[in-house]
Amino acid sequence: MHVAILLIHVVLAIALVVLILLQQGKGAEAGAAFGGGASQTVFGSRGTGGFLSRTTAVLAAAFFATSLTLAYFATQAGQAAPEAGIPDARLIEQQRGVPTLDDDARDVDNTAPVLEENGG
């Protein structure tokens, strides 16, 4: 379920970027008054402005909903597994038996074999 919503979220994000880039700015309407707007008669007298802005609003609402859903899933996953994530360095060193600076010198295992260097 989480992966499906994440994929929908990514598709919505890409669609939003494409739709926003397709929309014309406010200055483009002035150019249409001088004869450049004849190609926009397919979408009516307002051109593609109403259609694209309405579609963008719907996609933005869906993007917002998937964002909230993913945030909810992230908080639920954090409550279910508090040990998830990067463990503390001291915990890793304790599990491996590596002495830390907090350890007392008497606690360190000195019975490990020591590799001696050959002088020649």
Q: What is the pLDDT of residues 3-61, one digit of tens each?
A: 999 999 999 999 999 999 988 776 655 555 565 555 555 555 555 668 888 999 999 99
Do the domain assignments include residue 60? yes
Do the domain assignments include residue 72? yes
Do the domain assignments include residue 116? no
Do the domain assignments include residue 112? no
In tens, the pLDDT along 51-110 reads: 888 999 999 999 999 999 999 998 887 665 555 567 677 777 666 666 666 656 555 555
Do the domain assignments include residue 67? yes
Do the domain assignments include residue 49? yes
16 and 62 Cβ atoms separated by less than 8 Å:
no
- For the beta carbon of residue 60, count every other beta carbon within 10 angstroms: 14
Host domain of residue 9? 2-24+43-96
DSSP 57-91: HHHHHHHHHHHHHHHHHHHHHHHH-TT-SPPPHHH
Report residue 6 as tokens.
């994440």
Do the domain assignments include residue 7? yes
Query: Crossing angle, helix 2-22 and helix 49-80, to 10 degrees?
Result: 150
Domain count, the chain: 1
